[in-house]
Structure 1
Amino acid sequence: MQEEFVSVDGNKIRYLKAGSSKNNLVLIHGLGASAERWERVIPHFSKHFTVYVPDLIGFGLSDKPYTDYTLDFFVQFVRSFLNALGIKKTSIIGSSLGGQIAIEYAANNQETTERLILVSPAGAMKQSTPALDAYIMAALYPDHTSAENAFSLMTGNNKKIDSGIIESFVTRMKLPNAKFAFLSTVLGLKNAPEITTYLQIISVPTLVVWGQLDPVIPVTYAEHFVKQIKDCRFYQLEGVGHTPYVEDPQAFVDVVLDFLGK
């Protein structure tokens, strides 16, 4: 993986890149995360695709401007990021918040979106859950104990979490403006447009992947997406929580590559 930077609408954006295929794959992380969340699956995907993994604006090592972090703001960011890199067509994988962003982007840019993979996407759940509450508190008051508790809860069965994941999260959330961007995103999502409108106009082939044990956005919400998207497949990964690509990367890769025809 190569770490690279690009200017997007005047902001310095950091991203990871791997692979040299003519086929592109963009991975979009969730709330409070960074490109590293995908590091266990990037090497597998890069055998078949050129993989681009940005730190969303406001997160990771990308710039964190003072602005309203609305869903439309993130969708425009994805559009500008792809334009800045000259990416004309790509498949997209979006996790949680990244899934919600990918949905609106794909609905409005179907000519440039080849296939869409949604991993426990946000947008249908209107209330919080204890695991999500713990994660938000860990982001706003970052220390090793609160982060370890939150990430353990997110697995659905209190698995032990790699210390590197915890320390990376705590370090990122202590960066200037990181808490502002996080909280602004949370508030922005509360006023996001009704997601059903976008789901019903998506025509690109779509795969919805959900962890059976997900306590952040429970798997019962999968039905909302599968029923609304015209060409949609669903796969439930057993024994994992909110981030199956971290908890069982090989199983996740197998499912996704099968869908992508690789």
Structure 2
Amino acid sequence: MPEGGGPWSDDVLAAAAAEVAAWEAGGERIAAGDDQVWFRVLPATADAGNLPLLVLHGFPTCSFDWRLVVDRLRAERDVIVLDLVGFGLSSKPDQRYGLRGYADGVEAVVAHLELEYVDLVTHDLGDSVGGELLARSLDGTLGFGIGRRVLTNGSIYIDMAQLTVGQQLLLGLPDEQNDLVGADEGVSFANGVAGTFADDAEVPVVELAALAQLARRDGGLSLLPRTIRYIEDRRAEERRFTGAIEVHPSPVGVVWGDQDPVAVHAMAEHFVEARPDTALTTLEGVGHYPMVESPERFADAVLAMLDGLEPLDPDPGDDGDLAGEPAEADGA
């Protein structure tokens, strides 16, 4: 597997810090309850009348994952990226973390922007947060509508996930802040991320160093034993999250790297079996982070998928409800 390298040179660290600063300067923070959520709106280069695109990142990284693809994605639509609470540039309180709290932060951003309808692209943890948003939509409690959605590499079926050794170790720790984990200078973190890439992935070391700097911000690494607890949520309420991902009426497509060692390609195939109207694009030779490993191919695949899906009618009935009950999903 590719490695993040390290210890990094001063030039690499300086270049990474500059990229992080530029990324941060383009966004802002808003209150979400007692937390602060960082988000960034990237306006469409040309207005084609598309719904805004809401992007949700994965664990253990942040929205910076998407830095190399957002310019391509925003060619004809506004793009909104955000850092879930506990990650990246959002606040990182020492508290219990879970999918409902992550989803609350997303709702706060969408409400702040006064958006009524969005398209949704999700990755890894973001797939699960998206599942909670979809479940709320089915319950009639979500504050906005979802037109169409694209799932990317993530553990849709948690019992099929091939968790890394690092993830298993974190789950084996108590749900509390851990200073030993936080003592990592970032190289181990970067190597862990790079370990989920395809074998021949060529990712600039500056990207990995920047992700590590964002993870370390405000003691974020020490919170990894807490922020990973969404996996326990998934296992406890698989029917709610995966069920909603499967049955929500919004048109759905899947873009998946076929060399993902964690969210194996069989998950994407299983989802298509469960939801036969799903379009599937497989990115050959790509691992768990397609937006980092192969940004142009990935962005083009997502755009083609969105353009090929007819968005859900914002007014599906007289009462405006998206009636439905999450189906029984495979797994725990």
TM-score by length of 1: 0.88
Q: Point out which structure has higher relative CO (alpha carbons under 8 A, 6+ apart).
A: 2
| Superimposed CA distance per residue, residues 101-137 of structure 1 (whole angstroms, 9 cap, x where no aligned partner) | 112212432660011111112241337636x324677
Q: Percent of pairs identical after alignment?
A: 23
Larger Rg: 2
- 1:258 and 2:301 aligned: no
Give, as a single letter, the amino acid of the residue that structure 2 aligns with 1:7. A
Q: CA deviation at 1:98?
A: 0.6
Q: Distance in 1 between matches of 2:167 and 2:75?
A: 33
| Superimposed CA distance per residue, residues 133-181 of structure 1 (whole angstroms, 9 cap, x where no aligned partner) | 2467797563354234323321120534322222223323333341354
CA gap of 1:188–1:196, structure 2 versus 1, over 3 A, is: closer
Match of 1:119 in 2: 152
Retained in 2: the 8 A contact 1:199–1:229? no
The equivalences for 1:1-262 within 5 A come to 2-20=26-44, 21=47, 23-109=51-137, 112-126=145-159, 129=162, 132-134=164-166, 142-157=184-199, 159-192=201-234, 193-194=237-238, 195-229=241-275, 231-261=277-307
Structure 1 residues 61-70 or 240-249, which shifts more? 61-70
Q: Distance in 1 between matches of 2:72 and 2:29?
A: 23
Structure 1 residues 121-130 or 45-54, which shifts more? 121-130
Retained in 2: the 8 A contact 1:41–1:249? yes
Q: Distance in 2 between matches of 1:214 and 1:254?
A: 19
Number of residue equivalences: 261
| Ranges in structure 2 where 5+ consecutive residues have no aligned partner | 1-22, 139-143, 171-180, 309-332
CA RMSD of aligned residues (A): 2.6
Give, as a single letter, the amino acid of the residue that structure 2 aligns with 1:57. V
Q: CA deviation at 1:190?
A: 1.5
Q: Distance in 1 between matches of 2:250 and 2:192?
A: 34
In structure 2, the residue corresponding to 1:208 is in which secondary structure? strand
Structure 1 or 2: more strand by fraction: 1
TM-score by length of 2: 0.71
Q: Distance in 2 between matches of 1:260 and 1:122?
A: 21
| Ranges in structure 1 where 5+ consecutive residues have no aligned partner | none
